[in-house]
């Protein structure tokens, strides 16, 4: 049945289509265009997981859809719930057997979900578990959407924020990322506001510039992790291609064009980038920028030897930045007890 369709991906993926594309697809298979609205609402408002849930469509139409399109639905193969803070980590299986992670987090201001943009990643950051197996493939827009929809359905909770900070480099899957944003913010669909979306990048400069020109109201987070080009290239191979100053300039221009303040992500790694001198240097680099710095004690990854700084070192680092009037928070770690670090759960099953 539709199983073979979804595995082969030889048919157009119905839940990656916007309204116009869906209308064109339906007229193409001889259906009336008004059906598009109905089916679109089933997919993106009611978050159906099967054509057979679409009970106001005739059985004949449902069969026709199964024969002519691919409907991507993710299957949770493992769900871990943190006893500490209620964080839930989902290991989802894609139609081709690949697996990705999605993390659901509860905050005072609402529920947040951290989604993956690729199966694997080719950026090679030294401290990151997702880099270990390299890139397998890009996720489709529907596979990104499904992480939100399935997690809402499974948890029974409404999600108010989406962060594209899971496995993969979103700007290395740029077209699908844009389509995902278009679909999830569609008023006829899930209707999430652009301001509720954060996209995190390791710093692919031409893509940051293209994204700035779209003038979206999403938040851009830049994975900085070092106060100098010299140190950054030791941790992040992407820095060989795009110099730190070039990346920061692109971020400044992003802010100028969109009015959206940049978030700088900085993983504190013991003995690598956590000294007072590093903080001083970082302060100089970011001084005067309208930005926010997120300090994240590095999540120890089994295959890597990186360690977290102790609390005093992290606090001293934060203080130093604050002295330079930089807006900074030390990010509370969520779900430490459930393979917290990005990519660790998936890695177990590779
Ligand atoms: N590729 C994108 C988004 C995915 S990674 C990016 O680089 O931004 C999401 C964030 O987690 C990035 O800031 C990344 O550098 C960080 N990260 C990866 N592994 C980590 C670890 N072991 N500890 C702390 N942060 C980590």
- pLDDT tens digit sequence for 55-98: 999 999 999 999 999 999 999 999 999 998 889 999 999 999 99
Cβ–ligand 1 contact at 115 (below 6 Å) = no
Mean pLDDT (whole number) for 250-269: 98
pLDDT of residue 77: 97
For residue 2, pLDDT over 60 is answered with no
pTM, to two decimals: 0.95
The protein residue whose alpha carbon is closest to atom 12 in ligand 1 is: 223
Both structure tokens of 49: 């997981």
Measured N-to-C along each axis, helices 35-44 and 19-28 cross at an angle, to the nearest 10 degrees, of 130
101 is an active site residue: yes
How far apart CA 24 and CA 26 sit, in angstroms, is 6
pLDDT tens for residues 271-282? Answer: 999 999 999 999
Distance from Cα 5 to the centre of ligand 1, integer Å: 34
Angle at 209 between CA 197 and CA 295, to 5 degrees: 50
**Residue that wins the pLDDT comparison between 303 and 198:** 198
CA nearest to 106, candidates 81, 130, 129: 81
Q: Which residue matches tokens 């996209």? A: 199
Residue 301 CB–ligand 1 contact under 6 Å: yes
* pLDDT more than 90, % of the chain: 86
Pocket of ligand 1 contains residue 295 by CB under 6 Å? no
pLDDT digits (tens, 9 = 90+) for 288-346: 999 999 999 999 888 888 999 999 999 999 999 999 999 999 987 777 677 655 566 67
Q: What is the pLDDT of residue 347?
A: 64
Residue 200 in contact with residue 114, Cβ under 8 Å? no
Whose CA is closest to 238, among 163, 140, 171?
171
| pLDDT at position 350 over 80 | no
- Residue 208 in contact with ligand 1 by CB distance below 6 A: no
Which residue CA neighbors atom 7 of ligand 1 most closely?
202
- In this prediction, residue 223 carries a pLDDT of 98
H-type alpha helices, 77-140 = none
């Amino acid at each position: 049945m539709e199983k073979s369709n979804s595995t082969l991906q030889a048919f157009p993926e119905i839940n990656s289509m916007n309204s116009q594309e869906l209308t064109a697809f339906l007229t193409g298979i001889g259906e009336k265009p008004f059906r598009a609205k109905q089916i679109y609402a089933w997919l993106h408002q009611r978050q159906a997981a099967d054509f057979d849930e679409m009970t106001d469509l005739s059985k004949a139409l449902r069969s026709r859809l199964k024969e002519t399109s691919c409907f991507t639905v993710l299957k949770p193969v493992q769900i871990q719930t943190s006893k500490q803070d209620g964080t839930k980590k989902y290991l989802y299986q894609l139609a081709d057997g690949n697996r990705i992670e999605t993390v659901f987090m509860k905050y005072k201001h609402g529920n947040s979900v951290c989604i993956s943009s690729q199966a694997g990643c080719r950026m090679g950051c030294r401290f990151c578990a997702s880099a270990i197996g390299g890139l397998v493939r890009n996720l489709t827009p529907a596979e990104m959407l499904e992480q939100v929809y399935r997690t809402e359905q499974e948890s029974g909770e409404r999600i108010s924020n989406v962060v594209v900070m899971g496995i993969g480099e979103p700007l290395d899957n740029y077209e699908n990322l844009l389509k995902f944003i278009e679909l999830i913010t569609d008023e006829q669909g899930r209707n999430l506001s652009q301001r509720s979306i954060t996209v995190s990048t390791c710093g692919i400069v031409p893509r940051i510039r293209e994204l700035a020109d779209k003038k979206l109201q999403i938040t851009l987070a830049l994975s900085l992790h070092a106060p100098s080009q010299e140190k950054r290239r030791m941790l992040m191979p992407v820095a060989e291609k795009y110099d730190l100053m070039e990346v920061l300039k692109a971020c400044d221009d992003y802010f100028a064009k969109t009015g959206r303040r940049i978030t700088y992500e900085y993983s504190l790694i013991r003995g690598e980038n956590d000294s007072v001198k590093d903080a001083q240097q970082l302060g100089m680099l970011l001084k005067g920028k309208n930005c926010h710095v997120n300090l994240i004690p590095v999540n120890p990854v089994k295959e890597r030897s990186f360690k977290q700084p102790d609390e005093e070192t992290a606090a001293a680092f934060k203080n130093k930045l604050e002295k330079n009037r930089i807006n900074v928070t030390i990010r509370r770690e969520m779900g430490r007890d459930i393979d917290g670090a990005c990519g660790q759960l998936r890695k177990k099953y590779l």
